Amino acid sequence: MNSLIEKVKLIKRLDKRSQYSFHPVARLQDVEYFEKKFELKLPEDYRSFVLNIANGIDDTKKETSPLIKTNFVDDLIQLDDESFNPSIEFPIVSRTKKLVNGFHYDQLTNGNVWLKSTKCGRGIILIVKGKAKGQIWGECLSRDSEVFPWYEEIPLENNFNRWINDELDNILTCLKATQEASRGNLLKKLRTFISKKDTSTEII
């Protein structure tokens, strides 16, 4: 947790243009309300992150979210809903195509929370109920009709910490690249200015 906190601090320090927005942490009573409503216990690493670091991260430049904010209180899903219901167990533990393995679309949308939406109908989810609880999965149901474990090896613990650590590293890489590009542009302008100044001195 401390290493994640330090990375977030570094991002905020390097992010001179305020490209990344960190949502306020979730309230404990809101998280507990969500857990009670859906009769589950969130994976501890995810729970700790949203309670102590941020409940969501937005990229204001790309208009995307490296980590989607979870609405713990005003979620419209009800316990008797048959799809997108965190209280119903995620039914599988290995890569599955709904049209091949006999699962309905609705079944594969349950037992998870969304972490990130990517292009072309793809997303990243955290399993919160079922045998795969605690694991990060890729969700491509609308495009390829499949879901799959994000990592080849499937430890039941700290999957979220591993994933969010990678996300923060990606943000840092982008910020450092932007910083280097800005420094390079500044040096180029400085050299151009010096060159023009030397030319004008020779003319005089």
Contact predicate 113/124, CB 8 Å: no
Above 60 in pLDDT, residue 198?
Answer: no
User: Which of 104, 56, 103, 112 lies closest to 84 in space, CA to CA?
Assistant: 112
Above 80 in pLDDT, residue 59?
Answer: yes
Question: Residue 130: left if φ>0, alpha if ψ -120 to 50, beta else—which one?
Answer: left
pLDDT tens track for 130-167: 999 999 999 988 777 889 999 877 666 679 999 999 99
pTM for the whole thing?
0.83
pLDDT tens track for 24-41: 999 999 999 999 999 999
Rounded mean pLDDT, 79-83? 82
Contact predicate 163/116, CB 8 Å: no
**Would you state the pLDDT for residue 183?**
57
Domains of the chain: 2-203 (3.40.1580.10)
